[in-house]
Amino acid sequence: MPLVTTTEMFKKAYEGRYAVGAFNVNNMEIIQGIVEAARETRSPVILQVSAGARKYANASYLKKLVEAALIEAPEVDIALHLDHGDSFELCRAVIDDGFTSVMIDGSHLPYEENIALTRQVVDYAHARGVVVEAELGRLAGVEDAVKVDSKDATYTDPDQAVDFVNRTGVDSLAIAIGTSHGAYKFKGEPELDFERLKTITGKLPGFPLVLHGASTVIKEFVNMCNAYGGDIPGARGVPEDMLTEASNYGVCKINIDTDLRLAMTGAIRKHLMDHPSDFDPRKYLGVGRAAIKDMVIHKITRVLGSADKI
């Protein structure tokens, strides 16, 4: 099966009150683990590529790895998505390269400039059958090239969200209701602004919303990383039940990156500590791939609710 857009994915997710996982990919083992998990659970999946991933792995390599996944798992609905595109030029480049979905992130710009940039990308993408995600409101935290201090974070204004969607023609919208990028999401008790989410959904009925910065930072993997030489104390994520609840109110796409990093790194650290004589990359990268697969299965079956949806 060829790559698909997220249009039908999100329509089914909205009606079924579940979310599709958007998982960031950087290399072969991560792609293999994600796609095998989607295959076993019969779940649609979004493979996300950031600007940092394109720079690290080379755009051509990543595209060919995704093409291999389509061959190996033809029954899985797979969308290829640009995460946090920061310019029209980058969005145009990946659209021309065969991506089926792009995110243009103009959330750091003044409102009218965000609208103008998003509209430019939408016009180019829609003419080529590609869907567009944009962002309104700013999430705190750090992920790849995205860095926003907590003092600069802003929640999404519901009325502005309606105006933004109407004026840009965007296909989905990433909103800010309290999630954040990276492993350190909350200092106190975790809290998401569900009343704001419900208001936005009420004003944009049937329209798919997106949560960025939605890794749960599972304590087991933080502890594993730290126990085997890591130094990430106090990391906290979004509770899983909050993410599951969000899918009842129009959230059709949930981004997951940090949890994949923690699972893979923790598993590899443990393996190398337990097997110090191993120097064959296939052994420890294979362990990392298995950890990715298990994490994605957990997300699909316990958090997203997207199993058996293809």
Closest to 252 measured CA to CA, from 4, 3, 21, 5: 21
Degrees, nearest 5: CA angle 232-233-234? 120
The catalytic residue among 83, 86, 157, 259 is: 83
Closest to 81 measured CA to CA, from 61, 65, 104: 104
Q: Is 83 a catalytic residue?
A: yes
Annotated catalytic residues are: 83
